[in-house]
Amino acid sequence: MNNVPDKSDSDENQVDATPKTNPGQIEPIVGDRRQSIEDGVPAKIDVSIPSLRWILAWGILIAGTCFLHFASGKIEDALPFVDQAVRNIVTAIVIVIVPLLVMIWLCFYSPYWTVKIRKLAFLLFLTLQIVGLVVFGMGVELDGNLSPVGYRFPWSPPPDNQLQAITGKSNATIDLKTESPVDFPQFMGPNRNGRLDGTFLAYDWEEDPPKLLWKQPIGAGHSGFSTRNGYAVTMEQRGDQELTVCYEIETGKLVWAHGETSRHTSPLGKTGPRSTPTIHNGFVYSLGAQGLLCCLDGSNGRLVWRRDLFQEFNTSIAEDLKVVSWGRSASPLVYDDKVVVPAGGPSGARPVSLVAYHRLTGLEIWRGGNQQISYASPILAPYFSPQGTTDVVISVNEANVSAHDKENGKEIWSVERPGSSTAGANTSQPIALPGSRFLLTKGYGLGGELIQIQGDQVHQVWKKNTVLKTKFTNAVQYQKHAFALSDGRLECVDLQNGKRIWKSRKSYGHGQLLLCGSELLILAEKGYVALVRAWGGPESNTAKEGHVQFTSFQAIEGVTWNTIAMHGDLMLVRNSQEAACYEMPLRFRSAKP
């Protein structure tokens, strides 16, 4: 007897238990099971087996929770590179990604919609998200923390194009040669250090308010004012003209202007010149965002000489954007018979850190250093050597800080200061301190550092990445302390050891500081001006005790990154939209500038 069953008979008698799928039905996947439902009727889901849809849902919830903690700022000191801008970038990513993940879950892993509705919903969502990103991204205005603060339709003309053009022709003749104790002739003041030791402002601006002398529109740019003998000079962008402009301080009346056909714009750095002109012995020296260095006759604004740094250092506008993405920002340093500016060079070539020209003829005198440039301005500082004491030029470069012989540009010492002029840039000014010490500050996770120079040797006194996190603002020194807007919040640091004395809870944004006597005059990023005590006494161990803001008022509107200028009791402030002059109430003024 053959016990082997007949295969053909068995196959014919076997009942197919697999359910048939009719047209119009869909088969959602649940774990490892397939279940048919009619079109438009949700299936009954077996949730006993974990599925990818629930894993995604829980992942989104966990990611959102982690993000809320991340954005809270509680881990700022633990992770110094996590500043407000980084948190805002993460916020933007989450705003884009989380809805996308939810939509993917709804369209591909949830049982609630039919195939047709899922496809239409997903296509509509993607279209709206892409259009929203393009339209919003091209027109949104960001502050220094990358927070949206305004919007302009991408097809509307830039505000500076809507201003009246300035021809630059003027018959006026003024005196920018006569000096006075109240002059503010260059970037960050008479000594280029953000200090006016002889100016003491009144504490109560409600009882004795600042008096507005004038307020008017101005061209785009981050340039500040320099003043001499009743006149103020700045740079601004109007259309395709990059202008160096002179105004009467008390009236705001235009005196003269010199224009160069040049226009710099970058997505995050905005439009216009960045450099503040320098007034010296009757001449005005200005550096445009695209490397045009001009010497102007201060009496009428006429061009004396011009040097094109891009041409002289074998680069171009397009090439320079690859290495110095946000435009030339340094303010010319003028001393003796020289004017010194950062030089630079194209990617892949050997750059030049500094170049010196004769201030009267524009002829090149020397070149110094081989580091790519940053956004800081060179300064003069004392140098003690066995041969005696002299001044040297200090240059904050892309990735280090160097000292150069002021007569020939030869490098004397350097110290590493990591950075890139396309991201995480060095922008803040060094502060020269007694005892051959220098305070260096920077955001982007680097923080503050104090170095001491002995001959050509550099010794680190302290370095802390949790303090003095300045971005495009500068610290100032008063007595034994440094004060800075550290990622927007005012901070007091002990210069001896780098210890934080206090840090304000209040944020001023990436504004600017000017030390007036024993108080800090702060031009906040939102355009208001505040007066704060520059105090780091032993009782000031908390923000509540240490941070004392006496008074404030709204001076101008809009994102404000430009430095303040004081001409006696007259305060000049500006941004890329408007400029204003206020007569400030004084407690008293000493003879010391």
One DSSP character per residue, 463-513 reads EETTS---SSS--EEETTEEEEEETTEEEEEETTT--EEEEEEEE--S-EE
Higher per-residue confidence, 141 vs 583: 583
CB atoms within 10 A of CB 322: 14
Q: Minimum mean pLDDT among 26-30, 462-466, 472-476: which range?
A: 26-30
Q: Which residue has the tokens 């829980």?
A: 58
- pLDDT per position as a tens digit, 159-177: 888 898 887 667 778 999 9
pLDDT at position 463, please? 97
pLDDT at position 462, please? 98
pLDDT at position 154, please? 76
How are beta strands 431-433 and 437-440 bridged, if at all?
antiparallel
Residue 593 has pLDDT above 70, yes or no: no
C-alpha to C-alpha distance for 514 and 564, rounded to whole angstroms: 7
pLDDT band of 68, cuts 50, 70, 90:
low
- pLDDT per position as a tens digit, 190-208: 999 999 999 999 999 999 9
CB 567 within 8 A of CB 247: no
Higher per-residue confidence, 591 vs 233: 233
pLDDT at position 117, please? 85
How are beta strands 195-196 and 512-516 bridged, if at all?
parallel
What tokens appear for 537 in the block?
């006494």
C-alpha to C-alpha distance for 37 and 22, rounded to whole angstroms: 10
Residue 51 has pLDDT above 50, yes or no: yes
Higher per-residue confidence, 137 vs 465: 465
Return the bridge partners of 481, or none.
478, 494
pLDDT at position 8, please? 42
C-alpha to C-alpha distance for 257 and 246, rounded to whole angstroms: 6
CB atoms within 10 A of CB 48: 7
For residue 106, the SS3 value is: helix
CB atoms within 10 A of CB 251: 12
Q: Minimum mean pLDDT among 137-141, 274-278, 533-537, 554-558: which range?
A: 137-141
- pLDDT per position as a tens digit, 532-549: 999 886 544 454 568 999
Residue 290 has pLDDT above 60, yes or no: yes
Average pLDDT, the chain: 86
CA dihedral sign of residues 332, 334, 338, 340 = negative
C-alpha to C-alpha distance for 158 and 213, rounded to whole angstroms: 27
pLDDT at position 69, please? 53
310: left (phi over 0), alpha (psi -120 to 50) or beta: alpha
Residue 592 has pLDDT above 80, yes or no: no
Rounded average pLDDT over 26-40: 42
pLDDT at position 66, please? 64
Per residue, what are the HEC states of 223-244? Answer: CCCEEECCEEEEEEEECCEEEE
Rounded average pLDDT over 252-271: 94
For residue 583, the SS3 value is: strand
Rounded average pLDDT over 475-499: 96
pLDDT at position 142, please? 86
Higher per-residue confidence, 210 vs 125: 210
Q: Which residues contact 74 (CB under 8 A, 6 or more apart)?
A: none
Sheet strand arrangement including 570-574: 211-217, 578-583, 570-574, 565-567
CB 365 within 8 A of CB 341: no
Residue 58 has pLDDT above 90, yes or no: no
Share of the chain above pLDDT 90, in %: 65
Is residue 97 within a helix (H) or strand (E), and if so which, with residue range?
helix 84-108
How many CA atoms, within 13 angstroms, populate the side-chain half-sphere of residue 225? 27
Higher per-residue confidence, 56 vs 546: 546
Q: Minimum mean pLDDT among 52-56, 280-284, 311-315: which range?
A: 52-56
pLDDT at position 293, please? 98
Is residue 54 within a helix (H) or strand (E), and if so which, with residue range?
helix 52-71
- Residues listed for the chain: 593
- pLDDT per position as a tens digit, 394-445: 999 999 999 999 999 999 999 999 999 999 899 999 999 999 999 999 999 8
What tokens appear for 517 in the block?
């006597």
C-alpha to C-alpha distance for 272 and 470, rounded to whole angstroms: 22
Q: Which residue has the tokens 């005696």?
A: 388
pLDDT at position 81, please? 65
Share of the chain above pLDDT 70, in %: 83
pLDDT band of 55, cuts 50, 70, 90:
low
Is residue 572 within a helix (H) or strand (E), and if so which, with residue range?
strand 570-574
Higher per-residue confidence, 315 vs 91: 315
- pLDDT per position as a tens digit, 553-590: 999 999 999 999 999 999 999 999 999 999 999 987 65
What tokens appear for 482 in the block?
């440094």
For residue 55, the SS3 value is: helix
pLDDT band of 71, cuts 50, 70, 90:
low
Q: Which of 539, 562, 462 is nearest to 144 (CA)?
A: 562
Residue 62 has pLDDT above 70, yes or no: no
DSSP strands (E only) in 86-194: 140-142, 148-151
pLDDT at position 146, please? 83
